[in-house]
Structure 1
Amino acid sequence: MLQNNKGFTLIEVLIALSVLLSAVSVIIPTITLLHQEKHVLSDRRAIAFHLHDEMQPFLWEGTNSSSALFYEKIQNKQVTFQFLTENEYIKGCASWKNVKEIKETYCLYGLPQR
């Protein structure tokens, strides 16, 4: 006569555990990557806003220097700002290393007021 077992067998438990561990091994790196990308985008946004603000005196006051270079710390990142005159435009660039230790550069162009 067959017995009516109402529990899990060892094979069922091992299969359930392997499915759970597979899901966890995919989810944890994905969450870590999303967290890093969130910081990268936050840094880009803050530095772009700061570059825009730093560029305004060059555009409105029409400073005559052909280039300017300075450093600032934004969100615990050392950022290099450089402003150059290219033809009739003023080019402002910000360079920094992101969370992934990759060097990034963001540039804006503007026409000075005359």
Structure 2
Amino acid sequence: MKQNDNGFVMSEIIASFSIFLTIMLTFTPIMYQIVMEEKLMEDRRNLQSLLHDELQIVLSSDQGLPLQEKQTISSTLVTFTFTIETKYIKGCVRWDNEKQTQEKICLYGIPN
């Protein structure tokens, strides 16, 4: 008696589907974490650049220090703070990142 061996067995389909599902369930959180970290790094770069620009304006002007201003950038509330520390002016920016933790970046400049 001859058997027909040309088809898939249900156990092969279940095994291949479980391997596929395992791979997808492993890579989905990793990809989410990568996208989240990319967004955090983009925010840090943009806000550091804005802080640099704001610090240049403060350094070249005669505004009274300490100075604090709040802005909404990309639907995120950020606070710029400028103070005098010894012979430098310290500029900081604070914001709540995508992970709902507060971040702070500071730059220093020598006043004119």
Is the CA contact (8 Å cut-off) linking 1:59 and 1:90 kept in structure 2? yes
For residue 84 of structure 1, report the CA deviation from its aligned partner.
0.8
Inter-partner Cα distance in structure 1 for 2:9 and 2:17: 12
Q: Deviations over 1:35-94 (max 9, x none)?
A: 212221121111111111111122223x36331111001111100110111111111000
Q: Let me know the Cα RMSD of the aligned residues.
A: 1.6
- Correspondence for 1:3: 3
What TM-score do the two structures reach when normalised by structure 1?
0.87
Is the CA contact (8 Å cut-off) linking 1:43 and 1:75 kept in structure 2? no
- Correspondence for 1:52: 52
- Correspondence for 2:69: 70
Aligned length: 112
User: Given residue 88 of structure 1, which amino acid in structure 2 is its aligned partner?
Assistant: K
Inter-partner Cα distance in structure 2 for 1:77 and 1:93: 16
Inter-partner Cα distance in structure 1 for 2:72 and 2:66: 20
What TM-score do the two structures reach when normalised by structure 2?
0.89
Runs of 4+ off more than 4 Å: none
* SS of 1:99 mapped into structure 2: coil
- Correspondence for 1:32: 32
Unaligned stretches of 5+ in structure 1?
none
User: Given residue 86 of structure 1, which amino acid in structure 2 is its aligned partner?
Assistant: E
- Correspondence for 1:20: 20
- Correspondence for 1:99: 98
For residue 8 of structure 1, report the CA deviation from its aligned partner.
1.8
Unaligned stretches of 5+ in structure 2?
none
Inter-partner Cα distance in structure 1 for 2:4 and 2:60: 86
Identity of paired residues, percent? Answer: 35
* SS of 1:34 mapped into structure 2: helix
